[in-house]
């Protein structure tokens, strides 16, 4: 498992060109491999990341972190790049001309949409050589400008080279003994990657939580409903609660909310529920207050406590038909509360369909 966690098997995928010429010599391969090893070593200095960081490099011989020579190459790369949180691009004209690098970038991009995660801040562009080729849209901003990335090459007027290009050392494990200039640039890159890995980790946790909530909301029954009603309208509250329990829902609390009840205790109970329903009776002023206090303020507190979706609905039980005024219905929409007709039984199937709809809006259900 990666540091970021599911749905990513790898935290970083290093995409680079070997820089091969007509004779088959790969000019950039050894430097790129050494760069990736140094980057991983630097990132692992943080003990929070050390035990779980996973960096994919095609030449990595560790199981699951490089290409398996016994398996088809295209399928492996497509699966591994799709399962990577951040795409690290070693930018050069060779990269821009490489069919493999284009495929890797396209595979990575196409896999992100179904995950429900934006690609913003997830392409780490390392400029290892100046470029003259046109850049693809994926590496441009909304105005068509190149992503700034990180400069990792010298400014030699006639022969710019990747930083540390001349620091070759046969005694070094990766063939390079990079100097201070390379190390300082690497620290800048690692610092930014820490930031974006942590942000992505939080986004992935939110996604997993939302999908679990969506799964619960979409299930056939057994969801827990916090049924809010006032004690002076206990009969309407009890009728609604019995109808819900008869149809397989778990209803809390066991009696209508008392005036002056402990708000912290109510927040604790609400935050553990799958949804919130406000029982609307002929007392429209009471519902107006409940929409603001319970449907917006208290619900926000419960969601902040539990980090759950907690969809909210108004259960209209007023047979007189005077509760659903245009202004009141608009106010409900403004606090993101849906209007449900509870005047004629059975209305519980409508609640079930409402929860399924909320699950769909939350994201794909695993």
- 18 DSSP 8-state letter: -
Task: Say whether domain 10-216 belongs to CATH 2.160.10.10.
Answer: no
Mean pLDDT of the region 152-159: 94
Could you give the angle at which helices 180-218 and 29-43 cross, rounded to 10 degrees?
Answer: 70
What pLDDT was estimated at residue 221?
64
Q: Which residues of the chain form CATH 3.40.50.2300?
A: 221-362
CA-CA distance, 82 to 74, in Å (whole number)?
12
pLDDT-based confidence at residue 71 (cuts at 50, 70, 90): low
Architecture (CATH level 2) of domain 221-362: 3-Layer(aba) Sandwich (3.40)
Q: Find the range with the poorest average confidence among 65-69, 128-132, 287-291.
A: 65-69
What pLDDT was estimated at residue 318?
93
> Which H, E and C letters describe 243-263, residue by residue?
HHHHCCCEEECCCCECCCCCH
Q: Which residues of the chain form CATH 3.40.50.10140?
A: 10-216
CA-CA distance, 304 to 301, in Å (whole number)?
5
Task: Give residue for tokens 């009696």.
Answer: 255
Q: What count of other Cβ atoms lies within 10 Å of the Cβ of residue 232? A: 13
Q: Is the pLDDT of residue 61 over 50?
A: no
pLDDT-based confidence at residue 72 (cuts at 50, 70, 90): very low
Q: Which two tokens stand for residue 67?
A: 């290409």
What pLDDT was estimated at residue 343?
94
Considering the entire predicted model, what is its pTM? 0.68
What pLDDT was estimated at residue 220?
61
Using alpha carbons, list the distances in angstroms from residue 192 to 28, 114, 159, 189.
24, 26, 29, 5
pLDDT digits (tens, 9 = 90+) for 276-292: 999 999 999 999 999 99
Using alpha carbons, list the distances in angstroms from residue 336 to 55, 301, 310.
42, 15, 11
Residue 239 in contact with residue 245, Cβ under 8 Å?
no
């Amino acid at each position: 498992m990666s540091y970021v966690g599911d749905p990513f098997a790898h935290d970083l995928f290093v995409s680079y060109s070997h820089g091969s010429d007509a004779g088959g010599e790969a000019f950039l391969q050894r430097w790129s491999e050494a760069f990736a090893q140094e980057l991983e070593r630097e990132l692992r200095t943080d003990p929070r990341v050390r035990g779980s960081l996973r960096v994919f490099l095609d030449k990595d011989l560790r199981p699951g972190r490089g290409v398996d020579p016994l398996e088809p190459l295209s399928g492996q790369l497509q699966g591994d790049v799709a399962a990577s949180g951040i795409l690290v691009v070693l930018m050069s004209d060779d990269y821009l001309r490489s069919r493999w690098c284009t495929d890797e970038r396209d595979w990575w991009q196409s896999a992100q949409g179904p995950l429900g995660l934006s690609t913003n801040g997830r392409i780490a562009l390392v400029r290892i050589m100046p470029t003259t080729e046109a850049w693809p849209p994926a590496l441009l901003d909304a105005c068509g400008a190149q992503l700034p990335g990180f400069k990792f090459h010298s400014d030699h007027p006639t022969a710019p080279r990747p930083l540390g290009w001349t620091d070759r050392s046969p005694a070094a494990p990766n063939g390079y003994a990079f100097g201070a200039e390379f190390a300082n640039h690497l620290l800048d890159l690692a610092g930014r990657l820490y930031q974006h890995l942590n942000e992505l980790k939080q986004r992935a946790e939110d996604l997993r939580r939302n999908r679990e909530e969506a799964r619960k909301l979409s299930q056939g029954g057994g969801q827990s409903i916090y049924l809010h009603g006032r004690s002076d309208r206990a009969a309407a509250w009890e009728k609604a609660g019995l109808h819900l329990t008869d149809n397989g829902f778990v209803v809390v609390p066991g009696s209508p909310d008392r005036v002056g009840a402990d708000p912290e205790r109510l927040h604790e109970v609400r935050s553990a529920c799958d949804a919130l329903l406000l029982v609307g009776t002929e007392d429209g002023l009471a519902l107006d207050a409940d929409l603001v206090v319970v449907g917006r303020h208290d619900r926000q507190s419960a969601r902040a406590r539990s980090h759950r979706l907690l969809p909210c609905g108004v259960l209209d039980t007023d047979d007189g038909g005077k509760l659903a005024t245009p202004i009141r219905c608009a106010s409900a929409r403004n606090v993101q509360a849906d209007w449900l007709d509870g005047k004629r039984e059975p209305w519980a199937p409508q609640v079930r369909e409402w929860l399924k709809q909320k699950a769909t809006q939350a994201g794909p259900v695993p």
